[in-house]
Structure 1
Amino acid sequence: MNLSHIEHIGIAVKSLDEAIPFWEKQLGLKCYSIEEVKEQKVRTAFFKIGQSKIELLESTEPDGPIGKFIEKKGEGIQHVAFAVSGIQDNLTELEGKGVQLIDKAPRKGAEGLNIAFLHPKSTHGVLLELCEDPKK
């Protein structure tokens, strides 16, 4: 595995408009990007903290992954994302070690990153995401 750092922590929220002010006013962070990822039925808001980020996730459709997550578990941490180099090689290695993959090949995610998810059944209940910046 080629993990370099925690790329971001994804937090499911019911409303970006309601959640962003907490992160900005109470914690002093600045939202630097809001983006819709239509394929994932989600709107995202990003905050930088050190080398890592916080990603707030608001569902754009009740049947989207974040909508389903909130319906089942409520608002809260939805996933942890790691920065990697060679995302496809990492996926192949993990699958070879018996890790159940949600994505066998990377796909486009927020901020133009290539992403892939590992199934929580193989990660002791935590949804893990691998992220690779194609520009690096």
Structure 2
Amino acid sequence: MKPSHIEHIGLAVRNLEESIRYWEDVFGLQCYRVEEVADQKVRTAFFKIGDTKIELLESMDAEGPVARFIEKKGEGVHHIAFAVDNINKALRDAEEKGIDLIDAAPRPGAEGLQIAFLHPKSTHGVLTELCSKSADEK
């Protein structure tokens, strides 16, 4: 597996609208997309900084993974996402190297990407997301 770049950094937030205002007012960034990802129980907002994005994540469910994260650790960095050409191959490579997978197969994520997460227990405490434009290549 060789990522091409950091796709985005995911930040868990309690209030999406307040957080959007912060990034726009303090840094002068423009939120270019707000999207609901129902299967992950989140609303997301995106900002672009060079080739990297900041993704804000607000839980839509008090029992959802982002809500549980905030309950345990507070708002802040939730995950780092790497762009890969072939997400299925990247998952196989990670598993062959002993990395525990949260997602054994890619699933739809925000912005039409295919995503899969690696478990932080085997990534030195960092929730790591892999992203690809498609999951066609097996």
Q: TM-score, normalised by structure 2?
A: 0.96
Which structure dedicates a bigger proportion of its chain to strand?
A: 1
Segments of 4+ in structure 1 off by > 2 A? none
Q: Distance in 1 between matches of 2:112 and 2:65?
A: 19
Match of 1:87 in 2: 87
Is 1:60 the counterpart of 2:60? The answer is: yes
Q: TM-score, normalised by structure 1?
A: 0.97
Match of 2:51 in 1: 51
Aligned residues: 135
Match of 2:16 in 1: 16
Contact 1:2 1:86 in 2 (8 A): no
**Any gaps of 5 or more consecutive residues in structure 2?**
none
Map Cα deviations across residues 29-67 of structure 1 (whole Å, 9 max, x no partner).
000000000100000000000001000000000111100
Match of 1:98 in 2: 98
Q: How far 1:10 sits from its partner (Å)?
A: 0.1
**3-state SS in 2 of match to 1:31:** coil
Contact 1:13 1:57 in 2 (8 A): yes
User: Percent identical across equivalent pairs?
Assistant: 64
Alignment-mate amino acid for residue 21 of structure 1? R
Alignment-mate amino acid for residue 22 of structure 2? F
